[in-house]
Amino acid sequence: MQQFSIGELSLHAGVKVPTIRYYEQIGLLEAPLRTQGNQRRYGRAQLERLRFIAHARAMGFAMDSLRSLLRIAGHRQGPCADVDALARAHLAEVDDRIASLTRLRGELVAMLSGGRHGTVGECRIVEVLSDHEQCASAH
């Protein structure tokens, strides 16, 4: 069973060492085993969890969403009603994000293909991102 020092974990997960300690401090990551000399040693599972956190954060999920996603992910054994509701809420959030991003994507593509040389149509990136009506969830 593989063991990682905090530096190795940092490398493998792409998360800075102080950030790992911070996550431990706020309870996002469980406190790992320690060596005789008080240094942290992590296993595979904790690496996965940290990657999960890093990736979710990079995608813009709030810390709260993250905690509940982790809760969902923890319930691999058949969701209770509680977890089910969480999953539903996240599905809605995810759908909104995908819709927004897809529209933005369309605009970027149009910009790149359409307006390349001199003459241009309207760039609607601003409208795409500023039109709040098209955004199902409040924020």
By the criterion CB under 7 A, which residues form the site for DNA?
Answer: 5-8, 10, 16-19, 21-23, 26, 35-40, 57, 62-64
Per DSSP, the residues of 47-106 read HHHHHHHHHHHHTT--HHHHHHHHHHHH--S---HHHHHHHHHHHHHHHHHHHHHHHHHH
Residues 33-72 that bind a copy of itself (CB under 8 A): 48-49, 51-52, 54-56, 58-61, 69, 72
Binds 49: which of a copy of itself, DNA, none (CB < 5-8 Å by kind) = a copy of itself
Question: What's the closest the beta carbon of residue 40 comes to a copy of itself, in angstroms?
Answer: 19
Q: Which residues pair with 65 in a beta bridge?
A: none
Residues 79-108 that bind a copy of itself (CB under 8 A): 79, 84, 87-88, 90-91, 94-95, 97-98, 100-102, 104-105, 108
Q: What's the rounded Cα separation, in Å, for the pair 103 and 25?
A: 39
Residues 114 and 121: beta-carbon distance below 8 Å:
yes
* For DNA, the closer CB: 26 or 112: 26
* For a copy of itself, the closer CB: 7 or 106: 106
The H or E element containing residue 33 is strand 33-34
Question: What's the closest the beta carbon of residue 69 comes to DNA, in angstroms?
Answer: 13
